[in-house]
C-alpha cells in the first residue's frame, strides 16, 4: 500500500458524497475522516497508523504519541474516528488538519512501557488507549471501546486488566469515572 497514492481524499477528485456512495457499493472503505481506501486493501493496525500519521503531517513531532480514540481506532477497537488525539511532552500549538478531522493535543509524558510502534509511528498500547478513552473521551466513544473489548476473546486485553490498570493510578475524577464505566460493563457481562 502506498500513502498517499492509494488514499482517496474527499474534495480532491470526488466529493465526500461520491466517495461515500462508492463505499456503500463496496468499492472503497472509509478509514479516517474524509480518507478512503480501495476495498481490496487489507486494513490493519499498521495501515491505520500510517494513515493517521499522514493526516497529522508535520504536526506529529518526534516525541508525539497518538493516543485515546485515535490509538483505539489504530488498534481496531473503534470502526472510525474524526479526532486525532496526540500526546506531546511539551506544549503544542493547536492546528486544524482538515479533511473532516480535528486535532486534540494533551501535554503528557508517556512511558515507553505504555507505547508501541506501528509503522514507525508511536501509539499508546491497546490497554493504555482503553484506559485513556474511559477517562477522557466522550461517553459514546468510551462505551464503544469497552464494548468491543468485552466482546473480544483476548486474554490480555480484558475489562479486569483495565480495572487493574486504573486502580494502580493516582485517584482523580477522571479515574473514578473510568472505574465506574468499566464496572458497569463488567456487571453487564456477568448478568449475561
Residue 116 CB contacts under 8 Å (≥ 6 apart), including other chains: 122, 123, 124, 125
Q: What is the rounded CA–CA span in Å between residue 174 and residue 97?
A: 27
**Are 10 and 71 within one domain?**
no
Considering its fold, how many domains does the chain have in total? 2
Q: Where are the alpha helices (DSSP H) in the chain?
A: 16-24, 45-56, 68-74, 126-136, 139-151, 159-167, 173-191
User: Considering the chain, what is the average pLDDT of its residues?
Assistant: 90
Kindly indicate the confidence band of residue 192, based on its pLDDT and cuts at 50, 70 and 90. low
**Are 94 and 113 within one domain?**
yes
**Are 48 and 38 within one domain?**
no
Q: Which domain holds residue 67?
A: 44-191
Mean pLDDT of 149-154: 90
Q: What are the backbone dihedrals phi and psi of residue 39, each rounded to the nearest 5 degrees, phi first? A: -65, -15
**Are 80 and 55 within one domain?**
yes
Mean pLDDT of 41-63: 88
The pTM of the full predicted model, rounded to 2 decimals, is 0.90
**Are 30 and 86 within one domain?**
no
Kindly indicate the confidence band of residue 36, based on its pLDDT and cuts at 50, 70 and 90. very high
Is the model's pLDDT at 65 over the cut of 60? yes
Cβ atoms of residues 43 and 31 within 8 Å: yes
Residue 63: predicted pLDDT: 83
Mean pLDDT of 61-89: 92
Query: Order of strands, edge to edge, in the sheet holding 83-88?
Result: 102-107, 83-88, 65-66, 121-124, 115-118
**Are 64 and 143 within one domain?**
yes
**Are 151 and 79 within one domain?**
yes
**Are 116 and 104 within one domain?**
yes
Mean pLDDT of 111-130: 95
Chain centroid to Cα 37, Å, comes to 18
Mean pLDDT lowest for which of 27-36, 60-69, 93-102?
Answer: 93-102
Residue 60: predicted pLDDT: 78
Residue 153: predicted pLDDT: 83
Q: What is the rounded CA–CA span in Å between residue 151 and residue 164?
A: 19
Residue 22: predicted pLDDT: 96
Residue 180: predicted pLDDT: 95
**Are 50 and 94 within one domain?**
yes
**Are 30 and 63 within one domain?**
no
Amino acid at each position: 500500500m502506498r500513502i498517499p497514492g492509494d488514499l482517496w481524499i474527499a474534495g480532491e477528485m470526488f466529493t465526500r458524497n461520491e466517495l461515500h456512495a462508492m463505499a456503500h457499493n463496496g468499492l472503497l472503505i472509509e478509514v479516517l475522516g474524509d480518507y478512503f481506501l480501495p476495498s481490496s486493501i487489507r486494513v490493519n493496525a499498521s495501515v491505520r497508523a500510517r494513515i493517521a500519521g499522514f493526516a497529522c503531517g508535520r504536526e506529529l513531532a518526534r516525541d508525539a504519541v497518538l493516543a485515546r480514540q485515535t490509538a483505539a481506532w489504530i488498534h481496531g477497537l473503534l470502526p472510525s474516528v474524526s479526532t486525532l488525539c496526540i500526546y506531546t511532552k511539551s506544549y503544542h500549538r493547536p492546528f486544524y488538519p482538515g479533511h473532516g478531522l480535528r486535532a486534540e493535543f494533551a501535554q503528557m509524558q508517556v512511558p515507553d512501557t505504555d507505547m508501541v510502534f506501528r509503522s514507525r509511528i508511536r501509539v499508546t498500547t491497546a490497554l493504555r488507549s482503553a484506559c485513556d478513552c474511559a477517562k477522557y473521551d466522550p461517553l459514546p466513544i468510551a462505551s464503544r471501546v469497552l464494548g468491543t473489548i468485552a466482546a473480544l476473546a483476548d486474554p490480555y486485553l480484558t475489562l479486569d486488566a483495565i480495572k487493574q490498570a486504573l486502580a494502580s493510578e493516582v485517584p482523580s475524577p477522571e479515574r473514578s469515572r473510568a472505574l465506574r464505566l468499566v464496572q458497569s460493563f463488567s456487571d453487564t457481562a456477568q448478568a449475561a
